[in-house]
Structure 1
């Protein structure tokens, strides 16, 4: 029995025959202090064990199956057990002598997302490459199911709300462990007493009581981590001010700071931008097992900080004043505060378009979410959810939610996903029995008593309507550039995307030559990532564009450019 108030020990399940004991020995040596290693010897025993674990709410973190265990394909065995352990990560292990012949057999399963990783048995007592893969996979599982034993930031709240969703999303994406406590819990009673009668929920309390925040804004949350604009200094002039901390902004920050430029990155939300909400990016170079957008952003942020870059999180840029600072530097306004930079990079990316259904807008944070909102996946276990959108972000959200929800339906206006989604994601979706795609369909209405309970779906061709039960709606509705803060001197296309290089109006060209790639119509102001007109709208291309801006900044700041 698990003692009251404690979480049950998660399980690592080992399936196999000839090499089963070898795998058990390896996993026991490294992971038995934090996980229970369970190794049934037959299909019947495995089903019995998994049934018992499920009824006792014992989570399976990792299921490791021997290649062709028991004469049956490992992927087939894992698929049979999936209903008992939907959130578990799936591993096929193989001895070295069989690895070469098994790669081709496993290729399709890997491509369709039916496996999370495929590894050779360790080749020695300390095969750290093997254990790195296992540790990263277990870490990814723990993050996705919020299974952390760390006593992180405590949030005092009674029931779902837009503010609770916003705060949890901010903390999750910044990599800060957090737990929610009700107002009548011991933690809630103590925090409310310390905060006083004027406090309002959600209430945040640090584990070491460094701060106690009453319904904090994103700016308040960001200030706890990185300070406020006034901390930069009144006389400070940065070499490069980057507005937007998505892949483009982070790519620029890492390269600019590593080359000695005084670099400041500002974002109105948590670090990572829209890409930071992606549950798993599998086509980013150098991460064969995939990486979540949150983890990628955290690593890039740490990299930039290591080189000396500074961040302001949760701070919304409200205006850009061209060449109005000392020595003609640009002024970036943040409400009543401002910072100055010799050069500025526009990397604010895009926002999701609004659905425009008033009844659903009123349920934001109570079953309706713009973006993936990974923190809410814990709330849709065994329920029906819907994802609106046909891009990669929508596909990644659907795959992630399928680990928790009983079923995920992707709604798209088009005939299908082929025109807007990467092939690897389409294959993964097609191979997942918990996900279906409903083409030529839009959401026209919805409601519920305090939380989303139903949706009205409409066929875009016939107009026929259907009412369906729904516990969650995730809206990933394409790209709307975040350009409201830009002055008219920065040229944009009819949709608001920033023009650069040869795409700029010819009237702004100098000597008959267009600006450099990523340079805008304003000298010293550059653009990269999804907000740039003509960009590829992919994480890898955005980070590459950000890095590509740095040589242009150097050229602009060099004495020869003056």
Structure 2
């Protein structure tokens, strides 16, 4: 049972009473000082237990609360950290302590409850515990059970997909009690990994798509005689926003996603600058809330099915979207397939993808990095968020960037949090030129692009967040793109592609009835909030097109 450590010199009994509602699921411990709380946490770790959260009053007798969090962090780096300030100190201490939020010194500054049923306070507590549970803890009940003798690339990819879809999962050895139970329901000889999803019959998937199809179906499940009003390609923030607004206004809506719902944003461990979430929200949580919202209005989702081709409609006939699992006919199409990380073209990379080398933050892989030294390549916000999350598990995290610093590519709040974290080091003017290892990643070679010279270093995890490439090879040539391959819309379209001397609408492409929103669009801001805004803004244009058609 994970522990909550409640720390206050004089009000520990009050905190214990207030947190009584958590006593069934958590081991509630109290301490009256920084040192005592550190001893409690150390004892729990030595006994093989977990600490989910430290809750401290804003004043402690033997250290400042920020110093206390720093000490506790060295013992339990994965625990969430909350200040519950007494009402007599809340306003007085706030100016000094709140600055620490921006540097990641703790997670929330709240007013200690003054009465029963302070649900605003407990909403914050539950959000932090939910974040801890989804990224650190092993799920108590697994929606999906995976049987595998080793953590191979396919097993890890399946787990990463399930984590991004918000589905609790666990891996069991074949000779375990659960492993034998799952294998008993399998027809024929097992081919690992074996997956049992939601009490269905177990199967031996050969790809992530096999798992997605088993759980969520495939586009062939759509009646081919049906023509939907709008088909949305890509379930990142732009596609999800478009789905919510389109389906809520009565349009029949289908979303096709090549990977997991959430897109690239869904891999972010914590988005702290999204409007309306003062304590931040993980990309997975944001994506799943938006997906559930769209489903409530009638949207149908198919994940794990990339669109392979778009056949434009002619003379008023619907557009045809082809996938390997079936086709979708739609009166209008919103292209929000987003971007994918650029591949690292150096010797040794490709055979080790999934075996220590990962594109994106790979949330599942982060838990496998405990006690190791890892490297993050990239200088954008996604790289910063990945490094901060990895630092909860790995002994050290090195961020490699080709530029002299992070200032021109990363948000200031992330730079401040990285500078504060003793486990994270930024290595500028550097690039990876070779990787290697026997069966999995063991070392990388780093080149100093300023002074010259190569250095080989041990490395157990290499996370590549190298910038964006558009994901739109499946579009026909009639959809104009810029020199980098991003889709052109509105007045960015060259005049020779205008119709009747007028440019397309602001989010309309050169193909009538086909629109683009989010990161795939040329000139987009490459931010979650901007993509969501474009997804909402494209729906009136779709309405106008359908009315004309």
**Aligned match of 1:75 in 66, 88, 97?**
66
Task: Return the offset for 1:119.
Answer: 0.7
Partners of 1:198 and 1:272 in 2: how far apart?
35
**Aligned match of 2:293 in 297, 303, 312?**
303
TM-superposition CA deviations, 1:514-551 (whole Å, max 9, x none): 11111000111000010100000010100110100000
1:24 equivalent in structure 2: 16
1:205 equivalent in structure 2: 196
1:64 equivalent in structure 2: 55
1:328 equivalent in structure 2: 317
For the residue of structure 2 that corresponds to 1:49, the secondary structure is helix
**Aligned match of 2:506 in 512, 517, 530?**
517
Between Structure 1 and Structure 2, how many residues are aligned? 549
Contact (CA 8 Å) 1:164, 1:365: kept in 2 or not?
A: no
User: Are residues 1:501 and 2:501 paired?
Assistant: no
Contact (CA 8 Å) 1:245, 1:271: kept in 2 or not?
A: yes
**Aligned match of 1:415 in 404, 408, 417?**
404
1:3 equivalent in structure 2: none
User: Are residues 1:132 and 2:141 paired?
Assistant: no
1:221 equivalent in structure 2: 211
Partners of 1:139 and 1:450 in 2: how far apart?
35
Partners of 1:448 and 1:192 in 2: how far apart?
32
2:379 equivalent in structure 1: 390
For the residue of structure 2 that corresponds to 1:69, the secondary structure is coil
Contact (CA 8 Å) 1:452, 1:472: kept in 2 or not?
A: yes
Contact (CA 8 Å) 1:218, 1:268: kept in 2 or not?
A: no
Contact (CA 8 Å) 2:138, 2:170: kept in 1 or not?
A: no
TM-superposition CA deviations, 1:35-74 (whole Å, max 9, x none): 1111123344333222211211211100011102116321
1:15 equivalent in structure 2: 7
Task: Return the offset for 1:216.
Answer: 4.2
Deviates most, 355-364 or 541-550: 355-364
1:247 equivalent in structure 2: 237
Deviates most, 517-526 or 445-454: 445-454
TM-superposition CA deviations, 1:280-335 (whole Å, max 9, x none): 000000000000000000000000000011111111100001115x9421110113
The within-5 A match list for 1:317-356 is 317-324=307-314, 327-335=316-324, 337-356=326-345
Partners of 1:536 and 1:354 in 2: how far apart?
22
1:180 equivalent in structure 2: 171
The within-5 A match list for 1:102-501 is 102-206=93-197, 208=199, 210-324=200-314, 327-335=316-324, 337-501=326-490
For the residue of structure 2 that corresponds to 1:114, the secondary structure is coil
Structure 1 gap segments, 5+ residues each? 1-8
Partners of 2:418 and 2:188 in 1: how far apart?
50
Task: Return the offset for 1:161.
Answer: 1.8
Partners of 1:151 and 1:335 in 2: how far apart?
30
Task: Return the offset for 1:81.
Answer: 1.5
Task: Return the offset for 1:199.
Answer: 3.4
Structure 1 segments (4+ residues) deviating >6 Å: none
Partners of 2:138 and 2:23 in 1: how far apart?
17
Partners of 1:337 and 1:40 in 2: how far apart?
60
Contact (CA 8 Å) 2:38, 2:71: kept in 1 or not?
A: no
Contact (CA 8 Å) 1:218, 1:315: kept in 2 or not?
A: no
Partners of 1:78 and 1:167 in 2: how far apart?
35
Partners of 2:333 and 2:77 in 1: how far apart?
46
Partners of 2:94 and 2:35 in 1: how far apart?
29
Partners of 1:361 and 1:146 in 2: how far apart?
31
Normalization by structure 2: what TM-score? 0.97
Partners of 1:252 and 1:396 in 2: how far apart?
26
Partners of 1:487 and 1:463 in 2: how far apart?
44
Deviates most, 289-298 or 105-114: 105-114
Normalization by structure 1: what TM-score? 0.95
Contact (CA 8 Å) 1:441, 1:460: kept in 2 or not?
A: yes
2:41 equivalent in structure 1: 50
Task: Return the offset for 1:337.
Answer: 2.4
For the residue of structure 2 that corresponds to 1:328, the secondary structure is coil
Task: Return the offset for 1:198.
Answer: 4.0
Task: Return the offset for 1:336.
Answer: 6.2
Task: Return the offset for 1:356.
Answer: 1.2
Task: Return the offset for 1:201.
Answer: 1.0
TM-superposition CA deviations, 1:179-203 (whole Å, max 9, x none): 1012222222333343244431111
Task: Return the offset for 1:383.
Answer: 1.0
Deviates most, 302-311 or 151-160: 151-160
For the residue of structure 2 that corresponds to 1:256, the secondary structure is helix
Partners of 1:486 and 1:358 in 2: how far apart?
31
Partners of 1:316 and 1:199 in 2: how far apart?
28
Structure 2 gap segments, 5+ residues each? none
TM-superposition CA deviations, 1:127-163 (whole Å, max 9, x none): 0011111011101001111432113211111222221
Task: Return the offset for 1:434.
Answer: 0.8
Contact (CA 8 Å) 2:33, 2:60: kept in 1 or not?
A: no
For the residue of structure 1 that corresponds to 2:146, the secondary structure is strand
| Alpha carbons of structure 1 residues 108 and 43: separation in structure 2 relative to 1, 3 Å | closer
Partners of 1:154 and 1:368 in 2: how far apart?
25
